[in-house]
Chains A and B, each alone.
Chain A
Amino acid sequence: MSALKKILTFYGLPLYILIHPFDGFRAMKFEKEGRLWIAAFNFLVVCISYSFMAQYTASIVTPHNPLALNSLMDFTTLTSMLVLFCVANWSVTSLTDGEGKLKEIFMAVCYAMTPLVLTMIPATLLSNVLAYEETGFYFMLLSVGMAYFLFLAFIGLVTVHNYTATKAIITMFLTFVALIVIVFLLTMLSTLLFQVLMFIQSVYDEIIFRG
């Protein structure tokens, strides 16, 4: 019994947010009950669940190509998506009177991931006992988790920034615009850097061949 209590005190806020999102996120922000490492833990579990899902979902449900699996790649993709989103959201909301700090945005999104933590692995296990006609249950479970995650993340961001719903929706849209701009800048930067490197290499080659 005490072990369960320990888990509840350690993981209590994410579970509380699941049922009382407004109170939970308010407690996270204003009563300083949010912990960065719990948020990171939540995200890590989602990453692991994602790789687990890619590897162990029954091939009746989604025929994954076993040779195309790459857990490191999945991890990198998810992390960069999260970081990009947080940075984009922060850069937009800091211009539009949002009260959230970067750390709080990160925590809000990660705390909202609890439904994913709770559904991805069970859905994967479930898929292994489903026949072709019953795959709807698997997809239902997954999409319920996903929808609840999006709902929680939205409420989390509203609370963290102290926004009204309309303003939150507008900033969300602007966040995606900022995301595209950031990705574009990154691509351009890497292309230009590559060209500079190519130039340095060709200069080096010239010197080597002449010398």
Chain B
Amino acid sequence: MKRILAISLFLLAAVILAVPVAADTPYQGYTYDYWGRLVPAPAAYVPVRTFVASDICPTLGEFNEPSDIHVAPCETIIYIVDRGNNRIIGFDNQLNLIRVIDAFTRDGEADSFSNPNSIFVTPSGHKYIADTNNHRIVVLDGNGNFLRQITEPDVEELEDDFAFLPEQVLVGRSGRVLVIVQRVYEGMMMFSPEGDFLGYFGSIPVNASPLELLWRNFQTREQRAIQARIIPTEFQSMALDSYGFVLTTNIQPWGTNDQVMRLNPRGGNVIENFNDNVGIDGDQWFRPAGGWLTGPSQFIDIIARPYGKFSTLDSTRGRVYTYDAEGNLLYVFSGIGTLHGMTNRPVAIEMLGENIMILDAGRGRVVYFEPTEYGRLVNSAIAARHRGDEEDAVHYWRRLVSLDENFALAWAGIGRSMLASGDNVAAMYYLYRGMDMQHYSIAFRRHRIDVMHEALPAVLTVGIVLIAIVAGLRILVKVKGYQTAEDED
């Protein structure tokens, strides 16, 4: 009786103590395994605070339809484009207001913004602001003085009723200005640093279904002319990675695999995905249609993170997906909801060091996330692996495996280091758990040679002896048979 009481008390204590271990985030972290099945994972990022405009300075009032959040690379100032109020608010990490940009002097006259959509700050401190309804891009220097503006280019192929409505702007390494313009399907518009139109940059492959193409075959020329053209979608967002490549997203109607592109300086897509069964397109399993939170993930914003990683923001379910340079989904966090750490209508993300901010236009606030121990470990491991420092990486992978047994990359990482150190049997075990079949095959081939080295002498000896015995017996039988035949004669 006492023992039963003790056991039940122990179980009760175990249950009570087990509860705080579960993450108290309103969302569940997850990733996908080799076959594309959903695998739960610990939360990689947790919300630490949420702030609105009046938290920065009480006189600022509230954000009205904010559209972009951007961190200046050199001065760690966070800029929020407060679109509805036609202003840009700059503040620091501690929420101290640094400057509000809502007016500037152009050619001696006061000028202001109209529905600005985004901001980009160059390393030298110049600010490029997509001033959408004024049909221009305004360039300001570090002190907020007007430098120049980029307006609609004088290009023949643009239609007569074309309006230059820049939505996003980015300045590349060589000073080229890339602009995403509404209703321009050729790609991004590319301008020289002086503002001359250079051409288009990057293009989105057109996705027409085979049925559509077949149907077009049967149509007459007139029918085809009336029917809507099959045109690519528009770019949604872009970010400059540490190699000077441009990461972009676009929304594909059915979430096909080209949602995220990494464009090299020539505009070619060089994104890599080493996974056969999981694309870089957010959620793999979702309800196709029928109300709230349904349909494929739609990436409305992207940030380039260090060591080839990138994070994308999904407007369908409000989640942030982080991938590494090889296209592996590392972690997922946040979502649409009302709890602390969820957003109503997320529009933009930005990072500050390892921390991530999501701009929620629906409620006019910013949610600030910090990595958990798990998230930090993933980031450090990916960094070490990207640097080629496998020794250091294994250290992180081992700790990750003790936190999350389902994290395939960690198993594969340990396995690769085992392979490098020549422990083939252990490498096979780890690589199999990480489903890294290319490296598993190498370990297996080496192991196979080892086994053959050990077994072949024995097998060959036994084989030769057996052959000798059989041959000897046959000779013996023949000789005997010959003898008996002779005897009979």
Minimum Cβ distance to chain B for residue A160 (Å): 40
Which chain B residues numbered 414 to 446 have a C-beta less than 8 Å away from chain A? 432, 435, 437-438, 440-442, 444-445
Q: Which residues of B contact A63 (CB under 8 A)?
A: 34-35, 435, 437
Decide if A72 is an interface residue (CB 8 Å cutoff).
Answer: no
Which chain A residues numbered 97 to 130 have a C-beta less than 8 Å away from chain B? 129
How large, as a class, is the contact surface on chain A?
10 to 19
Which chain B residues numbered 1 to 55 have a C-beta less than 8 Å away from chain A? 34-35, 37
The answer to whether A65 touches B440, judged by C-beta atoms less than 8 angstroms apart, is: no
Which chain A residues numbered 51 to 87 have a C-beta less than 8 Å away from chain B? 59-60, 63, 65, 67-68
The answer to whether A59 touches B445, judged by C-beta atoms less than 8 angstroms apart, is: no
- Chain B 42-78: CB-based contact to A (< 8 A → 1; otherwise 0): 0000000000000000000000000000000000000
The answer to whether A131 touches B437, judged by C-beta atoms less than 8 angstroms apart, is: no
In the assembled complex, the Cα of A59 lies from the Cα of B440 at a distance in Å of 9
Q: Which residues of B contact A131 (CB under 8 A)?
A: 441-442, 444-445, 448
In the assembled complex, the Cα of A60 lies from the Cα of B437 at a distance in Å of 6
- Chain A 33-67: CB-based contact to B (< 8 A → 1; otherwise 0): 00000000000000000000000000110010101
Q: Which residue of A lies closest to B435 (CB)?
A: A63
Q: How many residue pairs bridge A and B at CB < 8 Å?
A: 27
Q: Is the interface of A mostly helix, strand, loop or mixed?
A: loop
Q: Which residues of A contact B35 (CB under 8 A)?
A: 63, 65, 68
The answer to whether B438 touches A132, judged by C-beta atoms less than 8 angstroms apart, is: yes
Q: Which residue of B lies closest to A65 (CB)?
A: B35
How large, as a class, is the contact surface on chain B?
10 to 19
Most A Cβ at <10 Å: residue of B35, B438, B441 = B441
The answer to whether A59 touches B432, judged by C-beta atoms less than 8 angstroms apart, is: yes
Minimum Cβ distance to chain A for residue B449 (Å): 10
Which chain B residues numbered 438 to 467 have a C-beta less than 8 Å away from chain A? 438, 440-442, 444-445, 448
Q: Which residues of A contact B34 (CB under 8 A)?
A: 63
The answer to whether B441 touches A132, judged by C-beta atoms less than 8 angstroms apart, is: yes
Q: A129-B448, A131-B445, A131-B448 are in contact. Are A60 and B440 (CB under 8 A)?
A: yes
Minimum Cβ distance to chain B for residue A189 (Å): 27
Minimum Cβ distance to chain A for residue B316 (Å): 27
The answer to whether A60 touches B441, judged by C-beta atoms less than 8 angstroms apart, is: yes
Which chain B residues numbered 234 to 290 have a C-beta less than 8 Å away from chain A? none
Q: Which residues of B contact A132 (CB under 8 A)?
A: 437-438, 441-442
In the assembled complex, the Cα of A39 lies from the Cα of B445 at a distance in Å of 40
In the assembled complex, the Cα of A131 lies from the Cα of B34 at a distance in Å of 19
In the assembled complex, the Cα of A131 lies from the Cα of B440 at a distance in Å of 9
Minimum Cβ distance to chain B for residue A67 (Å): 8
In the assembled complex, the Cα of A133 lies from the Cα of B440 at a distance in Å of 12
In the assembled complex, the Cα of A68 lies from the Cα of B37 at a distance in Å of 11
In the assembled complex, the Cα of A132 lies from the Cα of B443 at a distance in Å of 11
The answer to whether A65 touches B437, judged by C-beta atoms less than 8 angstroms apart, is: no
Residues of A within 8 A of B (CB): 59-60, 63, 65, 67-68, 129, 131-133
Residues of B within 8 A of A (CB): 34-35, 37, 432, 435, 437-438, 440-442, 444-445, 448
For this complex, 21 residue pairs linking A to B, each with C-beta atoms less than 8 Å apart, are: A59-B432, A59-B435, A59-B440, A60-B437, A60-B440, A63-B34, A63-B35, A65-B35, A65-B37, A67-B37, A68-B35, A129-B448, A131-B441, A131-B442, A131-B444, A131-B445, A131-B448, A132-B437, A132-B441, A132-B442, A133-B441
List 20 extra interface pairs beyond A60-B441, A68-B35, CB under 8 A: A59-B432, A59-B437, A59-B440, A60-B437, A60-B440, A60-B444, A63-B34, A63-B435, A65-B35, A65-B37, A67-B37, A131-B441, A131-B442, A131-B445, A131-B448, A132-B437, A132-B438, A132-B441, A132-B442, A133-B441
